[in-house]
Amino acid sequence: GAVVSQHPSWVICKSGTSVKIECRSLDFQATTMFWYRQFPKQSLMLMATSNEGSKATYEQGVEKDKFLINHASLTLSTLTVTSAHPEDSSFYICSAILAGISYEQYFGPGTRLTVT
Amino acid sequence: KQEVTQIPAALSVPEGENLVLNCSFTDSAIYNLQWFRQDPGKGLTSLLLIQSSQREQTSGRLNASLDKSSGRSTLYIAASQPGDSATYLCAALSGYSTLTFGKGTMLLVSP
């Protein structure tokens, strides 16, 4: 149980375009989902916290107009990187909390974004 | 602000050795501490989660300890195998859901 998927697993896009990444909780309802970014040989850095039906909370230094997060249902959150630039190339990982059960976060497999 | 440090950054050992990975955190007010494994280009696999009230957790050849007062956790791997080669991350949970990660220890176990 507690499986989180991400789609796509990798994506290449041209500079200036937008790309959407999906995060789904497959077998549970997630009131809260998190988006992390990981640069090579660096740790995971929290970008934003996404609560179902409300606006996401962004960490300091993360541009909310550039990284659009939508948490429209209890099983789906999306991250859209708008007007992508090469410096946005990174590994994006989402996680989800099992609503009302515990604080443990279940992680998705990640999405590798390369902006050319 | 919570800061998590992992030592060493990289470790190379021959197969069969027992080894210890270290993790320290600056704010002892944590709910739990979790150890993950990450293979190159992959997501995270949760290995062990220690609640703040616990001292250790064990799973197979892995044993993780937690000393909240000193802000330290260790991951002990017994009888290491080449398949254990990966990056090991520790993360401290503070507040409702703030999970702070260390940079990881890259482990290479040679046959």
pLDDT in tens, A1-25: 689 999 999 999 999 999 999 999 9
Segment A23-42 mean pLDDT: 91
B63 near B76, Cβ under 8 Å?
yes
B43·A42 Cβ contact <8 A: no
Sign of CA dihedral B95, B37, A33, A112: positive
Nearest to A108 among B41, B43, B89 (CB): B43
B-chain residue closest to A93, CA distance: B43
Count of Cβ atoms closer than 10 Å to residue A17 Cβ: 12
**CB hemisphere CA count around B92 (13 angstroms):** 26
Q: How confident is the model at residue A78 (pLDDT cuts 50, 70, 90)?
A: very high
Q: Give me the pLDDT at residue B41, please.
A: 86
B33 near B92, Cβ under 8 Å?
yes
User: What are the respective helix, strand and coil percentages of chain A, to the nearest 5?
Assistant: 5, 55, 40
Measured CA to CA, the distance from residue B98 to residue B92 in angstroms comes to 8
Nearest to A22 by CA among A90, A74, A82, A94: A94
Q: Identity (one letter) of the amino acid at A20? A: K
Helix residue ranges per DSSP H, chain B: none
Check CB contact of A43 with chain B, cutoff 8 Å: yes
Count of Cβ atoms closer than 10 Å to residue B85 Cβ: 17
